[in-house]
Structure 1
Amino acid sequence: MHIMVLGAGVVGITTAWFLQKEGYQVTVVDRQNRAGLETSYANGGQISVSHAEPWANPSAPLKVMKWLFQPDAPLLFRPRLDPAQWRWALTFLGECTASKSAHNIRQMVNLGTYSRSQLQALRQELGLEYDHLEKGILHFYTNAEEFEGAIEPTRIMQDLGCDRQIIDAARAVDIEPALAPIRDRIAGATYTSEDESGDARKFTQALAERCQQAGVNFCYGAEVLGFDRAGDRVLGVQVLKEGRHQTLRADSYVLSLGSFSAILARQLALTLNIYPAKGYSITVPVKNPEAAYQVSLTDDEYKLVYSRLGDRLRVAGTAELSGYTRTLNQTRCRAIVRRAAEIMPEAGDWDRAEFWTGLRPATPSNVPYIGRSHYGNLYLNTGHGTLGWTHSCGSAAALADIVSGRRPEVDFAFTGL
């Protein structure tokens, strides 16, 4: 069977890999000229099972109201005359109950744990190198109320098998000495030793090369415009490539186009409640190796994550619900630099920050769409939000099982099952 994967980000490329391992003929279609050049390009770099508390939680509505007119807020909602944005926002509010938040934590921990094990097995099998570190992830809190609010979600994660330990400031600095400049300001922390970090773009591009060596075909420079369909079957994908309109055909299709999945799905009368959450990152050279962190960090109050990528430091975060624009907001860029320099002034050459922004495909619950659609030959692997890198290998392995008629090993609410 010939399967066409739409999208060459980390989710699309891992999907292609696991499908070809099942013996399928696979073609990957993407508008860029190489894999991993959009949302996977410069993300936070974390493989973070411990980052499983959804944005939609009981404390979120008041925070969002407080941040509404704060231009550098961690989560910024910019209202637009866009029904998709308002549908997303209203559903988000409905997900902010304690019971729904606990349910969504369960989904993300289960998928994250499974995905991390799949990544580790894949790395061992292929010997992939992507500046990865296996030093865990440390969440630190400089606000006592934020730390108290993290205790119950952490306990839920612990009950689900995520070894996220609640620790004090002294232990946090023992684990990551780079936090010493703010030791007296740390109200508390959590640490998950099994979590990892690494460069998602390097991983995606290295795996794409292995896919090509294994026989996967790549159709780069092809912008997906729509679909040909008849009844409950997709007959082909309409693309624009080198100025020419073409129709590409396969037996089955996988939709992995990130934030753009929702727009294309509407043409098939599929409603995917995915909206772009524009995230930002900075990448800087290490300034003082002794002051630079090795353990990946999460600054929960400011919604920032820190990863060490060889001789580079990556700091990423914030979310802006403002449509599909990828224009850099300098206020938000400067806010990341300011906070990072405040926390670890000697770690990086903060004046040499390279800025980037990408559109995370967010669902209101933070739980992605993985599985069958109501079209007999169209599958979904999209809507991973901030956790595409974390969930990519597990999502891909599970989808390969579903395509092959098997029930995936992980306990997750797959679509169509």
Structure 2
Amino acid sequence: MKVAILGGGVIGVTSAWYLAQAGHEVTVIDRQPGPALETSFANAGEISPGYASPWAAPGIPAKAARWLFMQHAPLIVRPRPDAAMLRWIAAMLGNCNARAYAVNKRRMVRLAEFSRDRLIALRQFTGIHYDERSLGTLQLFREQKQLDGIGKDVKVLEADGVPFEVLDRAGCLAAEPGLANSAVPIAGGLRLPHDETGDCFKFTNALMALAAERGVTFLWNRGIDRLVAEGGRITHVATDAGDVVADAYLVAMGSYSPLLLAPLGIRLPVYPVKGYSITAPILDESRAPVSTLLDESYKVAITRLGDRIRVGGMAELSGYSKDLPPARRRTLEYSVGSLFPQAGDLAGATFWSGLRPMTPDSTPVIGATKLPNLFLNTGHGTLGWTMACGSGHVIADLIGGRRPEIETGDLSIARYA
């Protein structure tokens, strides 16, 4: 079968790999000159299945109201006349209850755990390298009330059999020795020892090269104008360099997926939630993180990537803006600088922003649509890197007519009907 994939980020490239492995003839189309140059380029770097949690949770509306007035706010809203933003916020608030949280987290962890296993298998099969480490993730709580509030997450981890450790301050320092140089109060932490880290950009480029060796065609610098449907099916992709015809079409365009699907009468509730990162060269390894630390107070992830420290986080609702306000950089610098002082060259760090494709329930949209040859693999939010291999494996099975190894019925767009 000929399959055209729209989007060359980590989701599109992993989908291409697994489709090619299944024997399909695959073409990837992207407007950029190479893979992973948008949201996949400089994300936080953690592969954290156990921390796959919905943003919509009990208590979030009250927390969000407080965050808006913090100096180093994890949430920023730039009001704009945007009906899509308002619909997304309303739907997200509708998921801020205990029942929805439990349902959403369980299916997110299911996909994320499967994805981590697929990544390990892929690494063993190909020998691929991407500054990978398998040293776990530490969620750090500066305040006791944060530590006291982890009960609902622990219950889900226990139910799904995910190993975890609840640590006191000494345990946090044992996991991340660089914290010994910090003056920040540390109430404790929740550590997932099986989590991993790695550079998503390096991974996607390396996998693209391997996929190309196996016959996948990559069409870079191709603007995608529209999907053309006739007779209830997609007939071709119209691009700025001509049409591309296939038997099946997969939309993996992240935050831009809803814009492509709207003319087909498909309303995909994905909205761009902007995140920021800085990447700093390490100055002192003894002060640097050894893996990933999640700073719960500021919703910032601090990750060791080879000889660099990647610091990423925040959630900004500002449409498709990609500007780089200095205040966002100061928040990232404050988080890493207070926890790992003098570990990295913050003055020499690069500053970046990306648009995370978020659904109101934080679960990606993977599966078929009302058009029989049109499929979706998008809406992964902050977890595209964590869920990439599992999502690619699942969609390759669904397109090929095979039954996936995990339950996927609750991942499709039909859940929003």
How does the TM-score come out when normalised to structure 2?
0.97
In 2: Cα distance, 1:12 partner to 1:66 partner: 37
In 1: Cα distance, 2:30 partner to 2:335 partner: 35
Q: Is the 8 A contact 2:30 2:224 kept in 1?
A: yes
In 2: Cα distance, 1:375 partner to 1:184 partner: 54
Say whether residues 1:361 and 2:357 are aligned partners. Answer: yes
In 2: Cα distance, 1:99 partner to 1:165 partner: 25
- In structure 2, the partner of 1:414 is 411
- In structure 1, the partner of 2:57 is 57
Q: Is the 8 A contact 1:287 1:349 kept in 2?
A: yes
SS at 2:330's partner residue? Answer: helix
Say whether residues 1:103 and 2:111 are aligned partners. Answer: no
SS at 1:290's partner residue? Answer: helix
Letter aligned with residue 220 of structure 2:
Y
Q: Is the 8 A contact 1:374 1:416 kept in 2?
A: no
- In structure 1, the partner of 2:122 is 122
Q: Is the 8 A contact 2:397 2:403 kept in 1?
A: yes
In 2: Cα distance, 1:164 partner to 1:261 partner: 35
How far residue 416 of structure 1 moved from its aligned partner, in angstroms, is 6.8
In 2: Cα distance, 1:262 partner to 1:158 partner: 36
Letter aligned with residue 124 of structure 1:
Q
Deviations 1:99-138 (A, max 9, x none): 1011111011100100000000001111101000000111
- In structure 1, the partner of 2:377 is 381
2:368 alignment partner, one of 368, 372, 378: 372
Letter aligned with residue 133 of structure 1:
R
User: What is the percentage of aligned positions where both structures have the same residue?
Assistant: 42
- In structure 1, the partner of 2:314 is 318
SS at 1:361's partner residue? Answer: strand
- In structure 2, the partner of 1:331 is 327
- In structure 1, the partner of 2:88 is 88
Letter aligned with residue 253 of structure 1:
Y
Match runs of 1:257-336 below 5 Å: 257-336=253-332
In 1: Cα distance, 2:73 partner to 2:184 partner: 24
How far residue 232 of structure 1 moved from its aligned partner, in angstroms, is 1.9
Deviations 1:188-220 (A, max 9, x none): 101111100000000000000011110000110
Q: Is the 8 A contact 2:142 2:184 kept in 1?
A: no
Letter aligned with residue 353 of structure 2:
T
SS at 2:11's partner residue? Answer: helix
In 2: Cα distance, 1:214 partner to 1:296 partner: 33
Between stretches 61-70 and 354-363, larger displacement belongs to 61-70
User: Can you give the 5+ residue segments of structure 1 that lack an aligned partner in the other structure?
Assistant: none
Change (3 A) 1:240 1:365: same
Aligned residues: 413
How far residue 295 of structure 1 moved from its aligned partner, in angstroms, is 2.1
Say whether residues 1:230 and 2:226 are aligned partners. Answer: no
How far residue 291 of structure 1 moved from its aligned partner, in angstroms, is 1.1
How does the TM-score come out when normalised to structure 1?
0.97
RMSD: 1.3
In 1: Cα distance, 2:392 partner to 2:303 partner: 24
SS at 2:91's partner residue? Answer: helix
Q: Is the 8 A contact 1:105 1:157 kept in 2?
A: no
Q: Is the 8 A contact 1:360 1:385 kept in 2?
A: yes
How far residue 69 of structure 1 moved from its aligned partner, in angstroms, is 4.5
Q: Is the 8 A contact 2:116 2:389 kept in 1?
A: yes
In 1: Cα distance, 2:389 partner to 2:273 partner: 22
- In structure 1, the partner of 2:398 is 402
In 2: Cα distance, 1:116 partner to 1:188 partner: 26
- In structure 1, the partner of 2:43 is 43
How far residue 54 of structure 1 moved from its aligned partner, in angstroms, is 1.2
How far residue 71 of structure 1 moved from its aligned partner, in angstroms, is 6.5
How far residue 70 of structure 1 moved from its aligned partner, in angstroms, is 4.5
- In structure 1, the partner of 2:347 is 351
Letter aligned with residue 363 of structure 2:
V
In 1: Cα distance, 2:244 partner to 2:396 partner: 21
In 2: Cα distance, 1:262 partner to 1:195 partner: 31
In 1: Cα distance, 2:164 partner to 2:297 partner: 18
- In structure 2, the partner of 1:143 is 143
Letter aligned with residue 61 of structure 2:
P
SS at 1:185's partner residue? Answer: coil
1:249 alignment partner, one of 238, 242, 245: 245
- In structure 1, the partner of 2:207 is 207
Q: Is the 8 A contact 1:71 1:332 kept in 2?
A: no
- In structure 2, the partner of 1:34 is 34
Between stretches 379-388 and 401-410, larger displacement belongs to 401-410
Q: Is the 8 A contact 2:3 2:25 kept in 1?
A: yes
- In structure 2, the partner of 1:2 is 2
Q: Is the 8 A contact 1:47 1:389 kept in 2?
A: yes
